[in-house]
Structure formats: C-alpha cells, structure tokens
Amino acid sequence: MLHGKHLPFPDGGGVLRAKLAAAGLDALVELDSAGTHEYHLGRAPDPRTQRHALQRGYDLSALRARKVGLPDFDRFDLILAMDRENLAGLARLRPDAGAKLRLLMSFATRHDADEVPDPYYGEGDGFERVLDYIEDACDGLVAELRQRLQGSAG
C-alpha cells in the first residue's frame, strides 16, 4: 500500500503529481522523483521535456534530478522504472526486503508499450509520445491507488 510513503519517479512525476491532485489523492500519496544515474544531478528536466509538458499543463520547472539511493528502498513502497534497463539496475541495487519494483507502463490501459522510450536523442514528436505513455500509465496508477486507498479506509 502506498499511503504515507513516497514514489520515486523521474520526469513523469510532474504528470503523476497533477493527476493525483485532480483525483483528490495528493494528500494521501507522497511522491518523489529520482533517477538511476548521476546525470544532471540538481538540475531541472530537459528544456524540451519542460516545454512539451507545459503545453499539456504540467509544470516541471521545480523538479530537480537526484539519484535513487539505498535508503529509498526502505522508505518507499513502490519504485517505478521507465524501462527494463533501469528496472534491472534498481533490482541489482535493491536489498532483499526493499520496495516493490514495477515498470510504469504496467499501469497503462491505452498503449501496448511496456517501456517509456527515451526521447532525448530523437525528434520533438518523441516527447509527445512519451507524454502520451506517461499520462496513460499515470491514469491507470491513479485508478489503482484510488481503489487501494478506498479499500483500506473501509
């Protein structure tokens, strides 16, 4: 269960944060953003990511990159990865009793993709596709969280 815990989440955290707020779940689920690499520590998301997200109403400007660390596996219930490579890296780092690991796209209902592709070296439409995938998966995750949290309240 996710109540009272954090979800470390990459750039998609801004999308999930907005969807949790829209669902009235933002006070029940704490969310954090983190990555598996030390690239861009302390920096905001790529300007292209921010621009495309802002066009959909997601302000990512306050996000800052940090790396997932060992304490995260004890502190969080669930850690989501964008792709299998990062999921495998998290699995290697995770202690035996650590947080549950899943691919973000396992929550998707409208797209068949199992991974969120990396848009950074492609054209602008890659950022739109990534946002489509993240929105879909976040909608599915919010629906599951709503169901879990309502079940635990009664």
Number of helices followed by number of strands (H, E) in the chain? 5, 4
Closest CA to 82 of 45, 54, 55, 51: 45
What pLDDT is recorded for position 124? Answer: 60
**Measured distance CA(106)–CA(38) in Å, rounded:** 25
Q: Which residues contact 50 (CB under 8 A, 6 or more apart)?
A: 44, 60, 61
What pLDDT is recorded for position 34? Answer: 84
What pLDDT is recorded for position 12? Answer: 62
The residue ranges of DSSP E strands in the chain, in sequence order, are 6-8, 30-32, 78-81, 100-103
What pLDDT is recorded for position 112? Answer: 96
**Measured distance CA(107)–CA(90) in Å, rounded:** 18
What pLDDT is recorded for position 96? Answer: 86
What pLDDT is recorded for position 154? Answer: 57
Tell me whether strands 78-81 and 30-32 are parallel, antiparallel or unpaired.
unpaired
**Measured distance CA(89)–CA(152) in Å, rounded:** 32
Closest CA to 29 of 9, 49, 44, 10: 9
**CATH number of the domain at 6-153, please?**
3.40.50.2300
**Residue-by-residue pLDDT tens, the chain, 154 positions:** 232 333 445 556 889 999 999 999 999 887 888 888 777 788 888 888 889 999 999 998 888 888 889 998 988 889 999 999 989 999 999 998 888 999 999 999 999 999 998 887 776 688 999 999 999 999 999 999 999 888 776 5
As given in the structure block, the two tokens for residue 11 are 């750039």
Total number of residues shown for the chain? 154
